[in-house]
Structure 1
Amino acid sequence: MRHVEFIVLMALIMSLAALSTDAVMPALPMIGQELATTDDNRRQLVIGAFLLGMALAQVLFGPLSDSLGRKPILLFGIALFGAGCLISIWAPTFETMILGRLTQGIGAAAPRVLAVAIVRDRFEGRQMAKTVSMIMTVSILVPVFAPLVGQGVLTFTGWRGIFWLALVLGGIMAAWAGWRLPETLSDAHRHPLSFRRVGRALIEVVTHRTVIAYLMATACLFSAFVGYLTSAQQVFQETYGLGGLFPFAFGGLAGSIGLAAFVNSRVVVLLGMRRLVYMALFGMIGLALTFAGIAFVFEGIPPLWLTFLVLAPMFFCHGMLFGNLNAMAMQPMGHIAGSAAAVIGTVVTAISATVGSLIGQAYDGTILPLAFAFAGFAVLALGFCRWADR
């Protein structure tokens, strides 16, 4: 497999979770109405359940891939994701929908954690950070266009068509990976599957100060971002009344993250991950505090143009941070890449899904909860990075 094909395939595999999260956003009001959910904030569970399932399963798929190889576990996860799509398609009640989304999340955990492990199998250091940034540059096209695609599917087929689309795309990815992707974990580097070994890997990850510090910094930043994801539909469609223009607003902001990933892939080898992380963090903190101040002055609803003026560069800083922090956390764990990626992914996703859902549930018709969350967690992330360097 050539490098370009590898980048594109890994990007699509890694973006399966983003597709399942973002494409369904325009359909949340219709899902809530058809499945008799009266509480508007309860609709956010359609997003939260998926993220929770992904958090719970990563710690299982990583060690399995260290023992059985990356490829078979990847294909099994995509198949489980497809089963969750079918449950959601045929869901007669909101509770069944949540079960389907939880199953989808469990299945999507395998592509999410194994994409990182496969990249770590092939690269390390700055080259790994560059490759991850290139993958993110391609994969960010999914959240940019996913809400627009979801809106289009919703118009012609109803909300169940969105899950049919996810099922078909998952099948295409599975067929492509099954045909073209080589196994990246050699027999010499495989380990017998045992609870003792998984426990040792878990202990090694959570007791390594550098790993846990960058892991927690990532979790802080991603918690605020998940809060944005779960409440974005309400913010843009209800607070600002954008209606059918929501996919364009969401996609435009997601595009700034993709631009950051592209820029990072070009400069990380020259400047190094650590320098870029601190540059982006200080920029993020300044912008987040400005965002919180503006939201407070305008009593929670600043003009839409002003909100975009601050959010776009703030998300650019986010895009610079995610790939670098993940690569820095994985750097010392090359000998247990699958297990380490699983533990890191599980902890980050579990924390961010839980805290981010609480931020989303705090939605009160204004952007104040979101603004204060971005500011507070950016400062916490800086503290964890400083701890790693101590």
Structure 2
Amino acid sequence: MKQLTLHHPSGEFVALMALLMCMVALSIDAVLPGLGPMASDLNVSNSNDIQLVVAIVYAGMAVGQLIYGFLADAKGRKVAISLGILIFVLGSLVALFSDNLEMMLLGRFMQGLGAAGPRTITLAIIRDQYKGNEMARVLSLVMTIFIISPVIAPLIGQGILWLFGWRQIFIFLLGLASIAWLWFWLRQPETLAVEDRVPFSVKETLRNLRRMVNEHAAVYYVIALGFIFGAFIGFLNTVQPVLQGIYKMGAAFPLLFATLTISFAAASYLNSRLVMRFGTKRLALSAAVMVVLLSSVMYLITFLLQGVPPLWGLMIYLGVTLFFVGLQFGNLNAMAMEPFGHIAGTASAVIGNVSTLLAVVSGTLVGQLFDATVLPLVAGFGVLASGAALFIHRANVIHSQRPVKIVKS
């Protein structure tokens, strides 16, 4: 097998991979400050419906994850990423010229469908070129930049909103995607040799899917991942109306949002150390239980305060809760992937698709329950984390009863 290996990654390569991975985060978080004016201009009668502009991106991404993995293995990495960026650009144009909510949602779905390509295949490009410690080093550098994107994206969006208007945010995304594609196409060589490409097989895919369904513990971890991801999407759906609507934070919203995402990012960074001490199973379950406990206490306090706690109290609650949510993403993904050995490509695509679709449904429900109080947001964290904890516990019990069976092709 022909393997293209670069032992010393350049700063350009790291920056390019980080930019490609950031497209989903940028397309979501940069738009958040403009949701209010967008709802007004698009004549959205139900204020909660504008939240769909966030959730529909994840729905598109869920569908795209199934497509690009197979395409990249059959036709090469550059074709898959280029197709994804093209769809993202077309979606940005549809969103830019939208004059109603339906057209906007179509554009946003296309953005998610397109962004799934670079988001998914970037990892494959890195894996093609690096192994072992060197691969871990490259991923760490890329993820360091990736983690920063949710912090700065709302600030960029707010700045564009101040100077121009919400439509120009989509011009920014359109321009950024175009630059990313040109940079990628001119500077990044194909990393999957022709002789290593694998034609898509329906029969083999169905056989692998049956293997996955029969691994009950992995299925439970996927469901748990969907629930905890749904709580995060519920947060994204409601954080703007909560901070700008209830607390009248206005232009300060991006700074408050950045503060909260730093907590989430810190959890992702610290998880690599904590997991070596406590283990993935114990850490994921404990983190889910902590979200349940924190949310139960916060719900009671918020209820007694007629649904609107002090801003400082809400920020502390959300910061700590997002920290424990952040501890679960990597661990649940790892545990769900653990049994699938040589079908990792298919498994990764299916796990991403199922967990994201479940998250979109549950997170959208949390958003639609918004009633000008903080109660639905807190309840969403508590209820969905409870579901996650139950499925994690059940999966852990199965693991304790028998060793993990590694699925081979």
Task: Give the TM-score taking structure 1 as reference length.
Answer: 0.90
1:239-262 alpha-carbon deviations (Å, 9 max, x no partner): 111111111111110111111122
Distance change >3 Å, CA 131–CA 356, structure 1 → 2: farther
* Contact 1:133-1:261 within 8 A present in 2 as well: no
- Identity, % of aligned pairs? 41
Paired with 1:296 and 1:125, the residues of 2 have a C-alpha distance of 51
| Residue 51 (structure 2) aligns with | 44
| Residue 88 (structure 2) aligns with | 81
Give the AA of the match of 1:221: I
| Residue 288 (structure 1) aligns with | 295
Q: 1:315 aligns with which of 317, 322, 330?
A: 322
| Residue 255 (structure 1) aligns with | 262
| Residue 150 (structure 1) aligns with | 157
Q: What is the 5 A alignment of 1:49-64?
A: 49-64=56-71
Paired with 2:138 and 2:281, the residues of 1 have a C-alpha distance of 16
Distance change >3 Å, CA 281–CA 358, structure 1 → 2: closer
Paired with 2:39 and 2:355, the residues of 1 have a C-alpha distance of 28
1:276 aligns with 2:287: no
Paired with 1:107 and 1:138, the residues of 2 have a C-alpha distance of 21
Give the AA of the match of 1:246: F
1:16-63 alpha-carbon deviations (Å, 9 max, x no partner): 111111111111121122222222112112112222222222222222
1:264 aligns with 2:271: yes
State the aligned residue count: 390
Paired with 1:205 and 1:42, the residues of 2 have a C-alpha distance of 36
Distance change >3 Å, CA 194–CA 15, structure 1 → 2: same
Q: What is the 5 A alignment of 1:171-186?
A: 171-181=178-188, 183=190, 185=192
In the alignment, structure 1 segments of 5+ residues that lack a partner are: none
Shift of 1:228: 1.0
| Residue 168 (structure 1) aligns with | 175
* Contact 1:53-1:103 within 8 A present in 2 as well: yes
In the alignment, structure 2 segments of 5+ residues that lack a partner are: 1-5, 399-409
Give the AA of the match of 2:243: F
Query: RMSD across aligned C-alpha pairs, in angstroms?
Result: 2.7
Distance change >3 Å, CA 226–CA 124, structure 1 → 2: farther
Q: What is the 5 A alignment of 1:1-390?
A: 1=6, 2-3=8-9, 5=11, 8-118=15-125, 135-181=142-188, 183=190, 185=192, 190-269=197-276, 272-389=279-396, 390=398
Paired with 2:79 and 2:66, the residues of 1 have a C-alpha distance of 16
Paired with 1:145 and 1:377, the residues of 2 have a C-alpha distance of 28
* Contact 2:81-2:118 within 8 A present in 1 as well: yes
Distance change >3 Å, CA 127–CA 286, structure 1 → 2: farther
Give the AA of the match of 1:376: V
**More displaced 10-residue stretch of structure 1: 216-225 or 291-300:** 291-300
**More displaced 10-residue stretch of structure 1: 359-368 or 162-171:** 162-171
**More displaced 10-residue stretch of structure 1: 34-43 or 61-70:** 61-70
Paired with 2:10 and 2:186, the residues of 1 have a C-alpha distance of 16
Paired with 1:302 and 1:90, the residues of 2 have a C-alpha distance of 39
Shift of 1:234: 0.5
Distance change >3 Å, CA 288–CA 130, structure 1 → 2: farther
Paired with 1:16 and 1:295, the residues of 2 have a C-alpha distance of 36
Paired with 1:120 and 1:320, the residues of 2 have a C-alpha distance of 24
Distance change >3 Å, CA 382–CA 372, structure 1 → 2: same
Give the AA of the match of 2:46: D
Paired with 1:126 and 1:214, the residues of 2 have a C-alpha distance of 27
Shift of 1:190: 3.5
* Contact 1:130-1:269 within 8 A present in 2 as well: no
1:286-314 alpha-carbon deviations (Å, 9 max, x no partner): 32322223222222111110111111111
1:93-121 alpha-carbon deviations (Å, 9 max, x no partner): 33222211111111112223324555666
* Contact 2:218-2:335 within 8 A present in 1 as well: yes
* Contact 1:136-1:258 within 8 A present in 2 as well: no
Shift of 1:86: 1.2
Shift of 1:64: 1.8
Query: In structure 1, the residue corresponding to 2:98 is in which secondary structure?
Result: coil
Shift of 1:144: 1.1
Q: Which has the larger radius of gyration?
A: 2
Distance change >3 Å, CA 316–CA 176, structure 1 → 2: farther
Query: In structure 1, the residue corresponding to 2:347 is in which secondary structure?
Result: helix
Query: In structure 1, the residue corresponding to 2:255 is in which secondary structure?
Result: helix
* Contact 1:63-1:198 within 8 A present in 2 as well: no
Task: Give the TM-score taking structure 2 as reference length.
Answer: 0.86
